[in-house]
Amino acid sequence: MPLRPDPTQEIRSATSFDGTRIAYARTGSGPPLVQAGRWVGHLEAEWTSPVRRSFLLELGRGNTFYRYDSRGCGISQRDVADLSFDAQVRDLEAVVDAAGLRRFPLLGMSGGGAVAITYAARHPERVSHLVTLGSAARGVLKRNAPRQLNEAKVLLKVIEVGWDQENPAFRQTYTSQFMPDASIENMRAWNELQRMTASTETAIRHREELDRLDVTDELERIRCPMLIAHCRGDLRVPYSEGEFMAGRLPRARFVPLDGRNHIILENDVAWAQFFAELRAFIPTGPVRDEPSAAALTPRDLQLLELLAQGLDNAQIAARLDRAEQTVKNNITRLFDKLGVQTRPQAIVRARSSGFGNRTP
């Protein structure tokens, strides 16, 4: 039964193998898409967060999107003795069973990537497509990277000393790795979200599990199509770890994303790149409130094609032999017709509709 009614996000509860209550949420409509749990998460707080809400809404556009709070975190059961990696994988099993899902695409972001990989290896009949974003198949203790290991030790101490303090100075160290190019407002929002996610003890235990995991063997057992996306300048999980996964699974599609943010934001170039790739990779249903081609003028369609190719206003103006301000005004009106607010959103809509395939 729903734990708390919400007009746009329905929250339900699953019971894991050991009786632990796992809260999960469903939103959107269309074919299913499931996100594996990660420890920095909170179903309710993320839903209203300026850092996360737009991303979650986009994942629910054309899909029925399921996500859940990891054990010990968010609004899932907090007082949990077993925070092992295996228990986290079994929590995903419990959620998809409770939701009645038989076969579905699976998304793993950050630490949730290892959970998604392991589930897909154990249940090949359930996972139709596997997507990772900013993830690693091995923790820092398994990488033979002394500098990364030293940084991990420092971050554990930072969590121990300052995670639950009102003053965000210590959590800011963590935030600076998650989104170095974010605005001050987004950094403040993420600082607060982290504190709400888990207690200090739980945060440390989850981080220690991530640092020592190694799912390389499971990665090599993946049989479904796989998409690996990773920002080139990611400061939280090095880009080389995305390359490592792609090297172990040559059949996978590896997509480098532009930028340094581990948590990609709506105005990031990586946002449009990732969602265009995701929409082309997984099954989606009809998008609600999507304007038909008949609602767009030939000029609108021309602008949409150039936007999808990644051209900026000056380049579009030169291509169409118009003033840059005229192009800017035309694009603003196009955004209104599309029902979007930002350029990355427009690019995602355009590319998911087949625009952008011509050579710029």
Q: Is 23 left (phi over 0), alpha (psi -120 to 50) or beta?
A: beta
Percent helix, strand and coil across the chain, each rounded to 5?
45, 15, 40
- Distance, CA of 160 to chain centre: 26
Map residue 34 onto helix, strand or coil.
strand
pLDDT tens, per residue, the chain with 360 residues: 344 444 489 999 999 999 999 999 999 989 999 999 998 899 999 999 999 999 999 999 889 999 999 999 999 999 999 999 999 999 999 999 999 999 999 999 999 999 999 999 999 999 999 999 999 999 999 998 899 989 889 888 888 888 888 778 778 887 888 999 999 999 999 988 988 999 999 999 999 999 999 999 999 899 999 999 999 999 999 999 999 999 999 889 999 999 999 999 988 999 999 999 999 999 888 654 445 544 678 888 888 889 888 899 999 999 988 999 999 989 988 888 887 778 888 888 787 677 775 544
Q: Where are the domains of the chain?
A: 10-144+213-281, 293-352
- What confidence tens digit (pLDDT) does each residue in 285-331 have? 865 444 554 467 888 888 888 988 889 999 999 998 899 999 998 99
Q: CA-CA distance, 1 to 260, in Å (whole number)?
A: 40
Q: Which CATH architecture has domain 10-144+213-281?
A: 3-Layer(aba) Sandwich (3.40)
Q: Which of 143, 115, 147 is nearest to 130 (CA)?
A: 115
Going 350 to 355 to 359 to 360, the CA torsion angle's sign is negative
Tens-place pLDDT, residues 118-135: 999 999 999 999 999 999
Kindly give the residue spans of alpha helices, DSSP state H, lying in the chain: 43-48, 53-59, 85-98, 112-122, 146-162, 169-178, 184-197, 200-212, 216-219, 239-248, 269-281, 298-308, 313-320, 324-338, 343-352
What phi and psi values does residue 186 have, to the nearest 5 degrees?
-70, -35
Note the pLDDT tens digit of each residue in 186-223: 999 998 898 899 999 999 999 999 999 999 999 989 99
H/E element, 83: none
One-letter amino acid at 39 equals W
Q: How far is CA 118 from CA 103, 111, 242, 348, in A?
A: 16, 12, 16, 30
Residue with tokens 């300026």: 50
**275: which 2 tokens?**
């969602």
Structural fold of domain 293-352: Arc Repressor Mutant, subunit A (1.10.10)
Distance CA 133, CA 228 (A): 6
